[in-house]
Amino acid sequence: MIVSPKELSKVLGALASAPRLSCDTETSGLRSYHGDRPFSIIIGDGNENYYFNLLDYSDPRYPCVDDQLDEIRAFFGDYSGTWFMQNAKFDMHMLASIGVFLHSDCRVHCTKAIARLIKSDYVSYSLDRLSSFWLKEPKDDKVMAYIKDNKDCWEWEETPGIKTRRKKRLFFYRVPPDIIIPYALKDADLTFRLGMYELKELTKYNKQRREGLPAIDALYYNECELTKTLWQMERRGVAVDLRYCRRAFEHEQFRMTEAMREFESITRRDFVDSHIVFSNVFSSEKHVLTEKGNPCFKSDVLKTFKNPAAKSVLDYRDARSRANFFAGFEYEADENGIVHTSFWQDGTTTGRLSSSSPNLQNMTKDALRSETDFPVRRAIVPRPGKVFHCLDYDQVEYRLMLEYANAHGLIDKVLAGTDVHQATADAAGIDRNTAKTINFTVLYGGGNALISQRLGIPPEKARELVNTIFDAAPEVRTWMDRVRRGASLRGGVVNWMGRPIRIRDKIHASVNYLIQGGCADVMKVALNRTAKLLKDTETKPVLTIHDEIVLEGPDHESHLAHDVKREMEGSYPSKRLTLTTGVDYSFRSLADKLEGVYSPN
């Protein structure tokens, strides 16, 4: 139904009493912080779907309600029921771009994110894929067919980097209304039905779950709340130093050129980062093979090569990666120099957050190697008059593993003040770096061959060291074996919060999936608790990077970092080994941090 100005009040009044609604937007583009806006809002209640047209077609068949937008704003601001949205944060950003905000107490059920709770191992969680799988009804394909056949509905868009990438920018508002409106109405209908399907599946899971496993309700509610928390963080964004980014990009381009010249000087071959070239250049090296039986030239493997050309390749890749970060910061920054990354709740099988546009989850804690170096994190700076507080969990993966395994001997040492990896080293009679390497390699599903490669020791010695560690903490080996047997029997694992993680043929990674998924939900709980704690303060969470939450606020609120630390450390219901959090602060950048909580006195 296309809603006319005369019908608007009546329609919104009827929708206000519905316990659940679906919402979708049709937009001029995908970048709400670079001028793109909705040209329609679509709401469904499970019986009818309503198209609120904001585009003047100068055709009485397609009335425009743009002049009544204040009434629509009031409706969204008052509605406190449940919203079903596919990729909810995108639509929330688009709505916000025209001053439409959801009620703070409403529930946002992102069908894309919640689908991960039901089936964690799908390749895609698009509306078309989910509705085809679960509702046996795909999306309407007429709009994409029209765009494909009409070149005025799209153009090539370039995204900067070392290799400029081209992608199509689609102009949905140029699609005729008699095609786009039925398409949009169907999307709203599919989204509502998906939401209802997912609720039924979650209820079914609760009834069928094994005895002793937690219900999935707390996980579901936390994910719904997290959608709003992440949206607030994305909307706030982080400031980037654009002048620094430009200088850094030029520096990394120079490093790339130098690395290519060095490679060509050593090998007498033109540099190409390719399997064919490297197979010849590094033919004398002892190769690690891929699953297909080909030599592997990943960076971790190249680090083990003796040929000096390998270092040139590593330098080139490092510079390329950094250059792409700096180019991405410039491209994504809005007119005020603020970057609004997109956090993805459904980005990984384990539930761990990922991000894009730009990808801030992959920023390394790069140390300053020389005075002419440009750390990536130095590009991210506090706004004027603000300070960063960075709270990072201490060895959260390994602590969680010791808790799961009830490894009381090691837990006792850690509680007495010994570093987690040092405790392992002391128990096994080896040095800390070796213990740390083995701990994480085993935890992430790596075998003796990978440990051998990373430590540069024979496989037999690697096996001996692993056995030494397990002998010092036999509970860990027993627990790992139990996890793998259970995963093999049931096809997956369930973490402490009740998240089911399907594994199928990756049984060797089951321990890693369980721990990574457990840590993911620790962080998600912590983010929600932090957002609630800071609701009425100037200090806000602006970023999360793996196990770290970054706060930004005025220095006179620095004491709040202590409160956030307490909330983070209480986000996991520890039996014995509580989680701990380190705190740093910075007035300069994420790369220039000082230890502790800043005190203005």
Mean pLDDT over 305-322 rounds to 94
pLDDT band at 424 (very low <50, low <70, confident <90, very high): confident
What are the backbone angles phi and psi of residue 240, rounded to the nearest 5°? Answer: -125, 145
pLDDT of residue 371 exceeding 60, the answer is no
Residue 2 to residue 67: CA distance in whole angstroms: 15
CB neighbours (10 Å) of residue 323?
A: 23
Closest CA to 349 of 228, 509, 208, 496: 509
What pLDDT score was predicted for residue 472? 82
What pLDDT score was predicted for residue 366? 61
Instruction: Collapse the DSSP code of 266 into the 3-class scheme (helix H, G, I; strand E, B; otherwise coil) and give the result.
Output: helix
**Ranges 10-14, 189-193, 509-513: which has the least confidence:** 509-513
Q: Quote the distance between the C-alpha of residue 497 and its chain's center.
A: 19
% of the chain surpassing 90 pLDDT: 77
For residues 425 and 435, the answer to whether their CB atoms sit within 8 Å is yes
pLDDT of residue 540 exceeding 60, the answer is yes
What pLDDT score was predicted for residue 5? 97
SS3 track for 281-325 = HCCCCCCCECCCCCECCCHHHHCCCCCCHHHHHHHHHHHHHHHHH
44: β partners = 22, 49
Token pair 């330098």: residue: 315
pLDDT band at 72 (very low <50, low <70, confident <90, very high): very high
Q: Please, what is the average pLDDT of the chain? A: 93
Residue 154 to residue 174: CA distance in whole angstroms: 9
Instruction: Collapse the DSSP code of 524 into the 3-class scheme (helix H, G, I; strand E, B; otherwise coil) and give the result.
Output: helix
Query: Alpha carbon of 6 to those of 12, 156, 169, 515, 559: distances in Å?
Result: 11, 40, 35, 56, 53
Cα angle: 36, vertex 39, 43; to 5 degrees:
120
Q: What is the CA radius of gyration of the chain?
A: 26
Closest CA to 390 of 415, 371, 373, 365: 365
% of the chain surpassing 70 pLDDT: 98
CB half-sphere exposure, 201, CA atoms < 13 A: 17
Residue 274 to residue 209: CA distance in whole angstroms: 48
541: β partners = 551
What pLDDT score was predicted for residue 591? 94
pLDDT of residue 367 exceeding 80, the answer is no
Token pair 């009804």: residue: 137
Mean pLDDT over 503-518 rounds to 90
Token pair 């998240």: residue: 499
Cα angle: 492, vertex 493, 498; to 5 degrees:
130
Closest CA to 51 of 34, 67, 64, 70: 64
Cα dihedral 279, 284, 286, 287 in deg (nearest 10): 10
Residue 196 to residue 194: CA distance in whole angstroms: 5
257: left (phi over 0), alpha (psi -120 to 50) or beta: alpha
CB neighbours (10 Å) of residue 156?
A: 8
pLDDT band at 370 (very low <50, low <70, confident <90, very high): low
What are the backbone angles phi and psi of residue 585, rounded to the nearest 5°? Answer: -140, 160
pLDDT band at 506 (very low <50, low <70, confident <90, very high): confident
Instruction: Collapse the DSSP code of 456 into the 3-class scheme (helix H, G, I; strand E, B; otherwise coil) and give the result.
Output: coil
What pLDDT score was predicted for residue 168? 86
In the numeric block, which tokens belong to residue 316? 């080139």
Q: Which residue has the higher pLDDT, 440 or 500?
A: 500
What pLDDT score was predicted for residue 270? 94
Residue 285 to residue 295: CA distance in whole angstroms: 10
What pLDDT score was predicted for residue 282? 93
Instruction: Collapse the DSSP code of 56 into the 3-class scheme (helix H, G, I; strand E, B; otherwise coil) and give the result.
Output: coil
Residue 107 to residue 208: CA distance in whole angstroms: 25
What pLDDT score was predicted for residue 213? 92
What pLDDT score was predicted for residue 164? 65
What pLDDT score was predicted for residue 372? 60
pLDDT of residue 468 exceeding 70, the answer is yes
Instruction: Collapse the DSSP code of 118 into the 3-class scheme (helix H, G, I; strand E, B; otherwise coil) and give the result.
Output: helix
What pLDDT score was predicted for residue 365? 65
Sequence letter at residue 495? N
For residues 356 and 342, the answer to whether their CB atoms sit within 8 Å is yes
- The model's pLDDT over 142-166, given as tens digits with 9 standing for 90+, comes to 999 999 999 999 998 887 776 666 7
What are the backbone angles phi and psi of residue 593, rounded to the nearest 5°? Answer: -110, 150
pLDDT band at 469 (very low <50, low <70, confident <90, very high): confident
Residue 581 to residue 568: CA distance in whole angstroms: 7
Mean pLDDT over 494-521 rounds to 92
pLDDT of residue 167 exceeding 70, the answer is yes
What pLDDT score was predicted for residue 44? 98
* Residues present in the chain in total: 601
Task: Give the containing element (helix H, strand E) for 178.
Answer: helix 177-208
Peptide bond into 458 cis (omega under 30): no
What pLDDT score was predicted for residue 301? 86
What is the sign of the dihedral through the CA atoms of 53, 58, 62 and 64? positive
Q: Quote the distance between the C-alpha of residue 123 and its chain's center.
A: 16
In the numeric block, which tokens belong to residue 125? 């969680």
Closest CA to 517 of 401, 423, 425: 401
